[in-house]
A and B are shown apart, each in its own frame.
Chain A
């Protein structure tokens, strides 16, 4: 592990208490970051993605292939892909074509032109041995708030994309933003009404995410997680559901592949756990990143397998 913070800070909180951690058990899910290039420029993007951005570079099929094999050897159950917008990566379809021969796949997408323009190619992937699911970002169940963040017209485009994906028979879920003090069940009901009016299954899974802040941001007042917090406030089952327990993410930066602890910490090189999955899975993950608190406090998870 590139130890870019002092060991004492890595292992203990600012008041000297043992920091909470997760000791990974086994690799069930492998994520690939496809790159921070995106067709949208959302000011709240937790990845800081936008057109032409290369903080995280496009991953190529030749770089993915050996990791798929290594993951299979470690017993992986599924592969997932996030960005940026994965469908702006020129290798995305060839990567999916390969990965869907091996395991089920999930792609997180904004459901706009990069995907809409390739629905004919996407439809071909329905013939693969394993299924492809798509999680589409629909931040709010109303046009005004969604378009305020993503741009005028994007709400309608994304709904159009969802309708088409459903017609083509893909498994769908929605990623939405979670506001502070929101009435979660009421928000979900608004989504169900929206789904019904657009001929989408009303039982479509909705995954809510809190504000993760932009990359490199250090929001004030985020509590630190101690070992005591992990054992006092969480059960063993809840600790098992931390993504860093069963999942890792592959990231390409500066031309090199790194295995990160989870999908939310790629802005901190301390969470680059090595270049192979095996060595990454052996590393204890200290819950030091401010986004770790989201997992701790509200069970946030990018995964759909737990």
Chain B
């Protein structure tokens, strides 16, 4: 696997802490669910990020949450149009909606963990998931909501503010409302605590563990997509 140089098209601030990085495609092909490692060449550090764009879009899209202590994101958020960025070849092991394409699928995400699911609905508009359950801290952090809602029913859980029309709480509060059928494949992406809690609940309620597909990066010092 090689590393490549991509040019920055834009860095968009989507909420106070969530950004979308757009890179020129440079003929890179990828699969829905793939990640790329983005490098801060000066600090010789890299972090993996799930791709959020469609497989046929002319740009690469990456969502990231910028935190003050973010090792690579502090570099990413100050990039300008035309800057160069070192990017790994795409890689990954998470394939939303593709483990059993004849079965219905449900996506569950928190925060920027929505990235692979945005990639899915942008890539396969004719094969929408049965439902998306999406957890954010604030409504402003619900990035891509119009894209998701255009594809399928979306339930939003907002943990840190009450907003009329949306559930005030965590995604795990809403698992019993999901349209789970016998063959439903469930894909989870986001914070490890949510994924663990949701996986435990789903298994306890009869979902076979082979129907659960998880995407989470573990870090000693940093979380994914930060």
Contact = CB atoms under 8 A, between A and B. Distances in A.
Interface of A: 35, 37, 39-43, 50-54, 57-58, 87-88, 90, 112-114, 116-120, 123, 148-154, 156-157, 160, 164
A54 B2 contact: yes
A117 B1 CA distance: 22
Contacts of B37: 51-53
A297 to B, nearest CB: 28
A153 B193 contact: yes
A37 B1 contact: yes
Contact of B93 (A39, A52, A53, A123): A39
Interface in B78-134: 88-89, 91-95, 99
Contacts of B218: 39-41, 112, 150-154, 157
B209 A119 contact: yes
A51 B93 CA distance: 12
Given A58-B1, A153-B193, A52 B46 contact: yes
Contact of B219 (A41, A118, A120): A41
A149 B220 contact: yes
A53 B88 CA distance: 8
Interface size class of B (residues with CB under 8 A): 20 to 34
Contacts, number: 97
B201 interface: no
B209 A164 contact: yes
B220 A120 contact: no
Given A88-B91, A157-B196, A54 B216 contact: no
20 contacts: A39-B93, A40-B217, A41-B219, A41-B220, A43-B220, A50-B46, A51-B37, A51-B46, A53-B37, A54-B1, A54-B88, A57-B1, A88-B91, A113-B215, A114-B93, A119-B209, A151-B218, A153-B216, A157-B196, A164-B209
Given A54-B3, A117-B213, A151 B94 contact: no
B88 A156 contact: no
B54 interface: no
B29 interface: no
A157 B192 contact: yes
Contact of B210 (A35, A53, A119): A119
A157 B191 CA distance: 13
Contacts of A37: 1, 91
B48 A116 contact: no
A113 B216 contact: yes
B35 interface: yes
B209 A51 contact: no
Contact of A87 (B48, B89, B93): B93
Contacts of A114: 93
Interface in B10-50: 35-37, 46-48
B220 A156 contact: no
A117 B47 contact: no
Contact of A123 (B3, B199, B210, B215): B210
B220 A52 contact: no
Contacts of B3: 52, 54
Contacts of B215: 113, 117
Interface in B181-226: 192-193, 195-196, 199, 209-210, 212-220
